[in-house]
Structure 1
């Protein structure tokens, strides 16, 4: 791109000490070849018609053209891990990118520099250790005497304790004594049970109807209690097939809204 009219450059940039190309080539040869190359992007964002780059990664020899991407010019090079100096050739002039790291060489020239990190450590798969390694001998059909990974169940989130029935009524003036605080949205439509009681079973559920909240509380004598014995057998429709307490079906939101409009 834009190669017409560009003059050929011989050797390195002006002011480079004699033999800098040979030193760069020797450093490239001394780089560990067993390391995998790393894709590295060089970018020029300061305009120009024809943009090239060269540096110590190619012994300041070949001019590598950059491709235009929007308002920038970029090129992707496969470089070995190490530190490199490079410089751009923009419209036949040596230039460095002010928005990238720079360094001065032995002759005082300002070049851009880049450090390519070794990526093999990130690509290496860690060996599993401990209980979760891939040893096939650990798998068996025999049940262990004790489950070694068993943990206590997590505690309930603290916001689930903010229930309407756990707060006293509001004591503000001109407010009915039975008015409760608005519940948190996370507690809606949850079936909640009161603390264990030998005499009764208490369940509650809270629903939202537009801007109002309705909390229903179900209380039933515990099975085998004295109160349950005095009540006698329950009606046929008031008990589940298994003898447990059957909660009435909650009305849908549409039905609750229609009932509220009729009031």
Structure 2
């Protein structure tokens, strides 16, 4: 008896599909990077002090000694934006620059042509253009009085026996090699590991010398080595050569 009757309509289906509940506009959330908070007064004062504190500058004289009529200077201290003329002083051209500490690149403009000074440190870029290098470091005046407290105390006079030198002291031959030259890289034992241990900074007395080392187990091979310094880097070159004919 229920076959002839239609099913009851759903209350949800009787409503129009175009009827929506109105939404209130909401301000989107900001990301943490976009949020700005007011700084405390003490932080603001410190920031203003740091910005107003001048950076110490170092005066340096730059000289051009290779002739010319009109000589100017440009460099990386102002991103190559300006040219500063040099003043003639006899056969040279000079200019006084006052710059903060750092490493700068510069070049001369001599009669409209780019030039670099070969008696000053210089390098080339990937395009082959040559630039001079200016390395300015903060100058710290030497205060001898400030280090007097670190000097070791003098030894007492009672520690000296004042013995007279004998004839044997004058007959001894001097050593063939000074003792400090034995601590070279050629005489250092090689570490038994896959990753070699980094060497310590060599002494200044072993620089710019040529050393030869011959191993008793391999008398037919001789090693030649030399250590040189380039700015703050130390480069050691070792050449292994066979002496068999």
> Could you state the TM-score of these two structures normalised by the residue count of structure 2?
0.37
Higher RCO (C-alpha 8 Å, min separation 6): 1
> Could you state the TM-score of these two structures normalised by the residue count of structure 1?
0.35
